[in-house]
Structure 1
Amino acid sequence: MSKTIKYAIAVAILLGLNLALFLNDSSNDAPKAEKYFLSEDLEGVSRFTFAIEKDSVVIERSEQGWILNDQYKADEGFINTLISILEKVEVGRTIDDWNREVLGNVEVEFDFNTRYRFQIATNPTKTKSYFITNDIAKEVAVPGYRDNVIDIFTLHPDQWRDRTIVDGSWRTIQKIKVEKQNGESFEIAFNDNFFTVNGDAPYDSSAVVDYLNQFQQFQANEMISKRRFPDLDSLSDSEPLARVLIDDLKDENPTLLQIYPDDEKRGYHLVIDHTGQQMVIDGRRVQQILSNPDGLN
Structure 2
Amino acid sequence: MSKSIKYIIAVVVLLGLNLALFFSDSSSQSPQAEKYFLSEDLEGVSRFLFMVDGDTTMIERSEQGWTLNDQYKADEGFVNTLISVLERVEAGRTIENWDQEIMGSVEVEFDFNSRYRFQFSSNATKTKSYFITDGKAKEVAVPGYRDNVVDIFTLHPDQWRDRMIFDGSWRTIQNIKVENAQGDDFEISFNDKFFLIDGNTPGDSSAVINYLNQFQQFQANEMISRGRFPDLDSIGGVTPIAKVMIDDIKSEDQTVLEIYPSKSGQAYHLVKNNAGQQMVIDARRVREILIKPTGSN
| TM value normalised by structure 1 | 0.97
Distance 1:60 1:171 in 2: 34
Distance 1:161 1:264 in 2: 28
- Deviating above 6 A after TM superposition, structure 1's stretches of 4 or more consecutive aligned residues are none
Q: The residue matched to 1:262 in structure 2 has which SS?
A: coil
Q: The residue matched to 2:244 in structure 1 has which SS?
A: strand
Q: CA deviation at 1:30?
A: 4.3
Q: Indicate if the aligned counterparts of 2:89 and 2:141 stay in contact, CA closer than 8 A.
A: yes
Other-structure match for 1:233: 233
Distance 1:136 1:166 in 2: 47
Distance 2:214 2:119 in 1: 42
Percentage of matched positions with identical amino acids: 70
Q: The residue matched to 1:144 in structure 2 has which SS?
A: coil
Other-structure match for 2:133: 133
Other-structure match for 1:176: 176
Other-structure match for 1:151: 151
Amino acid paired to 2:72: Y
Other-structure match for 2:118: 118
Q: Where do 5+ consecutive residues of structure 1 fail to align?
A: none
Q: CA deviation at 1:28?
A: 7.1
Q: C-alpha root-mean-square deviation of aligned residues, in Å?
A: 1.4
Other-structure match for 2:56: 56
Which range is displaced more, 39-48 or 135-144?
Answer: 135-144
Q: CA deviation at 1:8?
A: 2.1
Amino acid paired to 2:13: I
Other-structure match for 1:15: 15
Distance 2:70 2:239 in 1: 33
- Please give the per-residue CA displacement for 1:93-150, whole angstroms capped at 9, x wherever unaligned: 1111001000011000000000000001000001110000111111111111111100
Q: CA deviation at 1:48?
A: 0.1
Distance 1:91 1:288 in 2: 48
Give runs of aligned pairs for residues 64-83 of structure 1, distance below 5 A: 64-83=64-83
2:151 matched to 1:161? Answer: no
| TM value normalised by structure 2 | 0.97
Distance 1:209 1:27 in 2: 44
Other-structure match for 1:242: 242
Other-structure match for 1:203: 203
Q: Where do 5+ consecutive residues of structure 2 fail to align?
A: none
- Please give the per-residue CA displacement for 1:154-183, whole angstroms capped at 9, x wherever unaligned: 000000000100000111000111100122
Q: CA deviation at 1:192?
A: 0.4
Distance 1:72 1:29 in 2: 35
Q: The residue matched to 2:293 in structure 1 has which SS?
A: coil
Q: CA deviation at 1:25?
A: 4.4
Other-structure match for 1:223: 223
Q: Indicate if the aligned counterparts of 2:204 and 2:295 stay in contact, CA closer than 8 A.
A: no
Q: CA deviation at 1:33?
A: 1.1
Q: Indicate if the aligned counterparts of 2:204 and 2:296 stay in contact, CA closer than 8 A.
A: no
